Amino acid sequence: MKNMSRRARRMQRNHKRNKAAGGLNLTALMDIFTILVFFLMVNQSEVQVQNSPAVELPVSVAENQPAENITVMITRDDILVQGRPVVTTSRAREAGDEIAALKKELEYLASRSPLPAEWRQQGRPVTIMGDRHVPYSLLKKVMNTCARAEFNNISLAVNQQQADQGGA
């Protein structure tokens, strides 16, 4: 080793030191996966209809949960599609059997996603959230408009009530 220059000896030492295989530190990766699993577990719950303080839903003993789809909300003042105001309820009451602004919005949403072949017979799904004080005539107009815009698979959102309690 005496015959080697100082530079050669230093390079040899460095090569020996760097020769060992590098280890993989999984601690940070495990932290990320733990957070991800926790997040997915919390957010994987069944579909819940977004409730709004402006809409007081009627009560039902139905067990079925609605699937996630287009939501039409009828408040005392407005009709909203996916949370966006489309028409006022006073204007909708004055309309005939069909609410033009609502139909236009639903047709636009339908044009953005093609209807799968297996859904063609039953139509597109839509959930209608109507305030319990909304007159049935307005609710009927909204349902007719949805059906004419190819949203035939209509679900009405209600609050679930235990079967042993009386109706409200």
What pTM did the predictor assign?
0.56
CATH assignment at residue 100 = 3.30.420
pLDDT of residue 79 exceeding 70? yes
Task: Read off the pLDDT of each residue in 74-78 and give the average, rounded to a whole number.
Answer: 86
| CB burial string 108-127: b at 16+ within 10 A, e below | ebbeeeeeeeeeeeebbbbb
Reference 82, options 142, 127, 27; nearest CA is 127
Q: Are residues 67 and 130 in the same domain?
A: yes
Separation of alpha carbons 113 and 101, rounded Å: 19
Number of domains in the chain: 2
Q: Are residues 81 and 30 in the same domain?
A: no
Q: Are residues 142 and 77 in the same domain?
A: yes
Strand 78-81 and strand 70-74: the pairing is antiparallel
101: in domain = yes
Range of the domain at 28: 6-43
Report the percent of the chain where pLDDT is more than 90: 0
Task: Read off the pLDDT of each residue in 104-133 and give the average, rounded to a whole number.
Answer: 80
49: in domain = no
Q: Are residues 68 and 150 in the same domain?
A: yes
pLDDT of residue 168 exceeding 60? no
